Structure 1
Amino acid sequence: MSLKQQASTGAEVDERMAALVTNANAIRAISSAVEGTLGPKGLDTMLVDQFGEVVITNDGVTILTMMEANHPAARMLINIAKAQQEEIGDGTTTATVMAGALVGTGVDQVARGVPVARVIEGLRAGIKRGLQAVEEHSRPVAGMDDQLLRKVALVAGREHEDIADLVVRAAALIGGEKLNDRTFKLSDTVTAEEGADNQVFMGVIINKEKMNRHMPGELEQPAVLIIDDALEPEEIEEEALATEAGFARYLELQAGHKEGIQKIIDLGVGLVLADRGVDDTAEEMLTDAGIVVVQRVASRELRKAAEHTGARMIKRTGLKKDAGSLRQCLGKAARAYNDEKLEQVWVLGGTGKPMATVLVGAATAEVVGERERIARDAASAVQAAVKGGVVPGGGAVELAAVRDVERIRAGMKGMAAYGVDCVIEALKRPMAQIVANAGFNPLEKLGDVLAAQVEEGKPSLAVDCDTGEVCDMYELGVVDPTLVKTHALKAAGEIAEAILRIDTIIKKREEKKENLKEL
């Protein structure tokens, strides 16, 4: 090969490595932004926008979604973290940290001359064995009164005992069957309010007040009507009103509207929840009848209220139905009242599906958001534990999985073994970061824990972040949901493989401008 050919080949390799290194640096930057929050001694991050608004949080997915990230590889990692949050509701920081370790080690292997295909081959094999190992170390939750659930809530809730207690009580109220429903999320039952008292109750909160102060402040055993529409006559265009036929139609709609309101009164409805506005006629008639009306209710709250009370949502045209058909659409609650302090309407004891609400109090407006995020994390972790069991936390189970992954490395032929090394380093990363955040030497502590796990045959051994001693995480009460760990490892593997497969970065043409030129 001539010197010219060698230079050309070298330049091509350098260009491909440049793309890989650029992407890897972006992943490392994102990982480093959240790694300092990991573990019980993790610190908070301050996010500041262009207007000086500040958010202080320890929540990984909040940091990732709020931070400014322009690099496409960085956005890929953030999207994976969002998917982890959407699916499980916790473990985004762990997934991000492991993804950073996988990509970083993978790039180092490629730089040493290991083909990317071989790295990915080993990475897949290592991830597969790592997932099996984590599941083998999993322990099921024995019912809703298992003390493991509170430990899970306490760890995910960052040692906030009041929040852990609230979440566990809510889980017990709802029950295991509902928690195993894929469409239900316990975290959706959480809300935080400034000045509120911590409590859990069977019911839903509507974040609106009654629309008229003369309406009753409290109702016992109210029938509930939910209108997924405006409670007002259909509109007629001004041009049509100028015609005789149009005006006649207007009068007809007004009469029909009043007739529908009278039906609501005659049916004995106590509470009306409307998706959109309520006109003056309806407000006056319903107020005189002693009916509580709440307008412009958020769609999510309407659905929750309908499920809890057993009501069937209708459109305003549904008021044209006969009384018997309309009665079938009504729900029922034990109690409903207007909380003037919190500016909310509470609907309690519905006869439909059980629906618990976790109300988390906060002393000031500045901490409301963070208290809510902590409670949602705890709720997601508890639900995941019910679904898939628990494993020892503190990075113990990942380190225990290292030994299983090392065994398959010994049996692999060729350069794929270097890809397995990437997984081994990623599995060590959570504990190493937790220990470093606690102020200890990660290399020393990793060695101590690995030796102790082998000597005692306990995969639950890790480091007590208060003392630096090796101890049993189950005995210390540090446990994590199995699903959080397995999804985090899967997510990290997916993003690492996607990044390692990219060897060229090409800027896309601006399609909109091209289309405009064609037009």
Structure 2
Amino acid sequence: MPKIMLHNSEARRALARGVFRLATAVEPTLGPKGMNAMIDRPIGTPMVTRDGVSIASEIELHDRFENMGAQVVREVSMQTNEVAGDGTTTAIVLANALIQGGIEANERGAKSVDLCKGIELAVKAVVVALKASAKPAKGNGILASVANIAATDARLGALVAEAHQRVGAEGVITTDFSVTTETTLDVVEGMSFDRGYLSHHMVTDQEKMEAVLERPYILMTDLKIKEPKALETARRIADEAGRPLLIVSEEVSPEVVVTLLGKQGPGKYLVVHPPEYGHWRKAMMEDLAIITGGKVIARDLGGRLEDITAEDLGTADRVKTSSSYTSIIRGGGDHDAIASRRAQVQRQYEVAPPNIEQDKLRERLAKLSGGTAILYAGGVTPVEQKRTIQLIEDSLNAVRAASEEGVVAGGGSALAQIAPLLDKVATSVDGDVAEGVRLVRSVLTRPLWRIAANAGADPEAVVTEVTRINGGYGYNASAGNYQN
């Protein structure tokens, strides 16, 4: 297929038009008074959102050269979402202003290489200044405020802050659709995973459809249990101690399940499949063994169910299982061993790329810390529920970032207040390098300008006032005033 080529100014202008068209769709959503965008979907209901990366991900332009520019900025928002989890609309505002300003400077005669040097120099100075101005987010009050601002809903923010408080910084907080119109929080104690009992005949609480074992032994294995006699040793150990037995196994034949149920009915034996798949399953099984103080009877190590001892079985104060989840509460593992395992997983998490691998490692950290919270998004329609989930996820990411790296004045105020600091940087260089620094200085006020404009305020007046007042104070677009 022949290639169509554009060069020089014509090419730059085409790319800039694509960037501008994408930004025009996203920028009106910025801030607490930003508008919603409605996106048609090939299947299902339209999506209503104010999330920058969600909007950008749906945009494809007819003009191939304009579309190239749009895709570059879409990648900016996606990378921001992967690394920070929020701030995607702000990233698009900054990218659009930087690209438009850079192309204008280039057409006035500025050299591209020198402009880029100035931009990089200014960005480094901005990052240093932001980190220096960040204040630790100590106390639930600050984190609750961060959650409220990110969610643009006080009740959602309060639920997110409560979830973070109850499971801790290393805890897992997930979202799901509620079966009611109310958004609720459910915190699961201990280590939990998304696997339930193999048979409803194992249920001990018919009203809740849950199976509960008190002070059970726990057998963990990746061996396939095809015959009842394979479990005779484990059952004998549990029976002699007068304790129930939880069996976590990849495969248990129906014959074995029938035999277990036929012995003493529900409450004595419980069978569940292990969590995850592949190498993640192996890692989670080892985590479970450390938490409960047992061992994984593994086929690749030559393990045999007939040879196990009481020391090979894990223990817990309680096991609670439904048709879809299992919770191991207060496992009997050694605290030092658990801490060592947690430190090992933490090191893996710190060097893992920000993708599904890091998400899985974060989940393992939470399970080793013993806390999982689920926020159920309520709503009258699926569209409303999806929108609520997006707000919750934005709020969660903001709270995590605040707890890890601190907080600065929000609403674009921190960037606007740092902008004057670049005047000194600009005077330390000359020519087009200084032009690049000045370009970044002008770009830093754009998020605040757009937030104020979306709120119906005078954006120029707001920018002037915010850059004048002391750091830590900013413009509250929701209330229309200046405050800490």
Instruction: Please give the range of the TM-score, normalised by the shorter of the 2 chains.
Output: 0.7 to 0.9
Distance 2:25 2:218 in 1: 48
Closer, same or farther: CA 174–215 of 1 in aligned 2, 3 Å:
same
Distance 2:312 2:388 in 1: 40
Indicate whether 1:158 and 2:156 are aligned. no
Distance 2:370 2:389 in 1: 18
Letter in 2 for 1:90: D
Distance 2:305 2:446 in 1: 63
Superposition TM-score, scaled by structure 1 size: 0.70
State the Cα deviation string for residues 108-154 of structure 1 (Å, max 9, x = none): 11111111011101101111111122122111233xx3421111122
Indicate whether 1:33 and 2:25 are aligned. yes
Indicate whether 1:359 and 2:392 are aligned. no
Distance 1:313 1:75 in 2: 48
* Residue from 121, 126, 143 that aligns with 1:125: 121
Closer, same or farther: CA 232–321 of 1 in aligned 2, 3 Å:
closer
The aligned counterpart of 1:193 is 177
The aligned counterpart of 2:444 is 427
Cα deviation for residue 313 of structure 1 reads: 5.6
Distance 1:306 1:376 in 2: 30
- How many residues are aligned here? 414
Closer, same or farther: CA 125–52 of 1 in aligned 2, 3 Å:
same
Indicate whether 1:109 and 2:105 are aligned. yes
* Residue from 68, 74, 77 that aligns with 1:78: 74
2:197/2:321 contact within 8 Å kept: no
The secondary structure found in structure 2 opposite 1:36 is helix
Cα deviation for residue 356 of structure 1 reads: 1.9
Superposition TM-score, scaled by structure 2 size: 0.74
The secondary structure found in structure 1 opposite 2:116 is helix
Which one has more relative contact order, counting CA pairs under 8 Å at least 6 apart?
Answer: 1
2:411/2:475 contact within 8 Å kept: yes
1:202/1:355 contact within 8 Å kept: yes
The aligned counterpart of 1:439 is 456
Indicate whether 1:345 and 2:345 are aligned. no
Closer, same or farther: CA 413–274 of 1 in aligned 2, 3 Å:
same
Letter in 1 for 2:270: V
1:45/1:57 contact within 8 Å kept: yes
Distance 2:135 2:432 in 1: 35
Structure 1 segments unaligned to the other structure (5+ residues): 1-11, 234-253, 475-519
Cα deviation for residue 208 of structure 1 reads: 4.9
Distance 2:58 2:453 in 1: 25
Closer, same or farther: CA 280–321 of 1 in aligned 2, 3 Å:
closer
Cα deviation for residue 330 of structure 1 reads: 3.2
Closer, same or farther: CA 463–328 of 1 in aligned 2, 3 Å:
same
Closer, same or farther: CA 284–32 of 1 in aligned 2, 3 Å:
farther
Cα deviation for residue 280 of structure 1 reads: 1.8
* Residue from 80, 83, 86 that aligns with 1:87: 83
2:94/2:443 contact within 8 Å kept: yes
State the Cα deviation string for residues 418-443 of structure 1 (Å, max 9, x = none): 21122123211111121122122322
Distance 1:329 1:31 in 2: 58
* Residue from 40, 43, 49 that aligns with 2:35: 43
1:305/1:347 contact within 8 Å kept: no
2:93/2:447 contact within 8 Å kept: yes
Cα deviation for residue 397 of structure 1 reads: 0.5
Distance 1:328 1:22 in 2: 67
2:31/2:454 contact within 8 Å kept: yes
Indicate whether 1:172 and 2:159 are aligned. no
Cα deviation for residue 212 of structure 1 reads: 1.4
2:164/2:173 contact within 8 Å kept: no
1:286/1:293 contact within 8 Å kept: no
The secondary structure found in structure 2 opposite 1:380 is helix
State the Cα deviation string for residues 183-216 of structure 1 (Å, max 9, x = none): x5x5x42232313742334345544543312112
Structure 2 segments unaligned to the other structure (5+ residues): 204-209, 239-243, 332-337, 339-367
Distance 1:193 1:332 in 2: 31
Distance 1:174 1:468 in 2: 35
The secondary structure found in structure 2 opposite 1:200 is strand
Indicate whether 1:293 and 2:271 are aligned. yes
Closer, same or farther: CA 320–154 of 1 in aligned 2, 3 Å:
same
Closer, same or farther: CA 274–129 of 1 in aligned 2, 3 Å:
same
2:232/2:306 contact within 8 Å kept: no
The aligned counterpart of 1:147 is 141
1:102/1:423 contact within 8 Å kept: yes
The aligned counterpart of 1:463 is 475
